[in-house]
Amino acid sequence: MSELQSRARLACPPIDLSLPEPAAAAAIDATCKDLGFFVVTGHGVPEPLSDEAYRQALAFFDLPVAAKMTVARPGAGISRGYNRMADQNHAASFGETGAPDLQESFAIGPPRKSPEPTGVLAGFAPEAYAPNLIPSQPAGLGPVLSAYYAAMEQLAERLLTLCALALGAERDFFARRGDRHASILRMVHYPAQTSAPFPGQLRAGAHTDFGTLTILKTDDAPGGLQVRDRDDSWLDVAVPPGSYVINIGDLMRRWSNDRWTSSVHRVVNPPAAAGPQGRRLSMVFFHEPNPDATVAPLRGDAPARYPDILAWEHRRTKLAALRGTATAA
């Protein structure tokens, strides 16, 4: 094993969620001070459920483009439905330029009736609580994604409780700011590459995630996730079977007042010789707090490093850059 491979395997330390809460919270605090990436075991997500979601998603991406476009994402600020190949550039959300990402995806939001929008929330509701677009084929996709979304909500709640404890906040600090969340479950398909990418073009360019935390389930196909460490080295992320990769996002970093880091990451291309084996699918749950939640640093005795911001305003700014739009409205 090379030094790089060894360091990569250490980049995401495993945390057993069946541990007592103080021990699990301390482990999360330790790793989030470093890279902000870790893997969890003892998560309780049924493997048959994740396997079926994976199978149904692949069946969807195998459909003709015209069939997938019947549930195309309807607007620049809405993260529901199908995103066609190369229609976004993650690196642009990080202030960089380059060729679009070599991926397509399908996403749903909360599979329940949206809350009555009032006050500030009314201005965010058309984007945050847009109806889900469910294709007619494959017939099982809608039900299994709804069930998987619910499992991800439960896992996110457990993780956010631990995050609150790790940061010295009330255990329900994030729960109270996420009871009307607009989190996104995205199935990301990276097709096998039949031609060479443009120079610098990746499956997902270097970026940070926008929200509180991200929950990732992926396969071991070539061409995968890399994290940039504090020495500016790119580390391959090794994922033990049956585990989930967790990383914190920009809003959690702001809440922690830079105690924790939202690390830059990317998805690289497979080797040119990978052929059909280079196909890859990731199932990603992006937890977002309530759209009208005010994100204010938990300062303690330290001065705030960030101004207060509404969660959805931060997301709008990032999405506008990622999708190449002048505004995200």
Mind listing the pLDDT tens digit for each residue in 25-81? 999 999 999 889 999 999 999 999 999 999 999 999 999 999 999 999 997 678 899
pLDDT at residue 137 above 90? yes
In the chain, what percentage of residues exceed pLDDT 70? Answer: 91
Report the domain count for the chain: 1
Model confidence pLDDT, tens digit, residues 277-286: 999 999 999 9
pLDDT at residue 267 above 50? yes
* Residue of 52 and 222 predicted with greater confidence: 52
Domain that holds residue 68: 3-322
**Residue 212: DSSP 8-state:** S
The reply to whether 51 falls in a domain is yes
The reply to whether 329 falls in a domain is no
pLDDT at residue 9 above 70? no
The reply to whether 124 falls in a domain is yes
pLDDT of residue 3: 34
213-218 sheet: strands from edge to edge: 14-16, 37-41, 244-248, 213-218, 280-287, 184-190, 104-108, 81-83
Between helices 141-166 and 21-32, what is the axis angle to 10°?
Answer: 90
Compute the distance between CA of residue 245 and CA of residue 265 in angstroms, rounded to an integer. Answer: 12
In this prediction, residues 250-259 reach a mean pLDDT of 95
Compute the distance between CA of residue 262 and CA of residue 137 in angstroms, rounded to an integer. Answer: 37
Q: Is 200 exposed, middle or buried (0-12, 13-18, 19+ CB in 10 A)?
A: exposed
The reply to whether 255 falls in a domain is yes
Omega cis (within 30) before 138 = yes
Compute the distance between CA of residue 264 and CA of residue 237 in angstroms, rounded to an integer. Answer: 13
Query: Which residue has 């202030």 as its token pair?
Result: 95
The H-or-E segment that residue 254 falls in is: helix 250-255
The reply to whether 295 falls in a domain is yes
pLDDT at residue 310 above 70? yes
The reply to whether 328 falls in a domain is no
DSSP secondary structure string for all residues of 108-175: E--SSPPPPP-TTHHHHHHHHTPPP---SSSTTHHHHHHHHHHHHHHHHHHHHHHHHHHTTS-TTHHH
Which residues are registered as beta bridge partners of 40? 15, 244
The reply to whether 214 falls in a domain is yes
- The pTM (predicted TM-score) of the whole model is 0.92
Which CATH number is 131's domain given?
Answer: 2.60.120.330
In the chain, what percentage of residues exceed pLDDT 90? Answer: 62
Mode of pairing for the β-strands spanning 225-228 and 14-16: unpaired
The reply to whether 248 falls in a domain is yes
